[in-house]
Amino acid sequence: MPVAIYPGTFDPVTFGHIDIAIRASKIFRKVYAVVAENPTKKPLFSARERREMLQEALGEHKKIEVVTYAGLIANCVRDYQATAIIRGLRALSDFEYEFQMAYTNRNLNDKADTVFLMPSVEYTYLSSSMVKQLSRLEGDVSSFVPEFVRLELLRKMGKER
């Protein structure tokens, strides 16, 4: 069975991310959940914090290993001897961007096939951006993220209760 990478910013990790990672682990022998360090994004959490939260969220799943990677995802595929890139498709609005990225990665590395997985219906419109915005406005995010992530969001935003 092949190996896959599941790259993302995971800022923060949500139940949708967890759902996709677990689904991928049922298809692939090994899945590397890759905390991407993207210099164009300004994440709320550091790469170390994101990796630690993702590790805590996925730690019981032995077929999933959490790593951090700075660089092209097409190169990450090569470095981890993977043959697939896992991407979650929530809605039609994701498709155009993901389609472009899939072709770009395939152009850079002909072994980089992209596999699109749909999350469970309850996570279809869930995004890390939405979770951060809700948290900033003191909304309840407990149905979107694990409890330890909710607490980290409160701590990071100085809203601990």
- Which amino acids are annotated catalytic? 17, 41, 90, 128
Would you call 6 helix, strand, or coil by DSSP?
A: strand
Phi (first) and psi of residue 159, to 5 degrees: -120, 30
Residue 113 CB coordination number (10 Å) = 16
CA distance 43 to 89: 21
Coarse DSSP helix, strand, coil percentages of the chain, rounded to the nearest 5 percent = 45, 20, 40
Reading the block at residue 121, the tokens are 């219906």
CA distance 40 to 9: 11
Residue with tokens 């993302």: 8
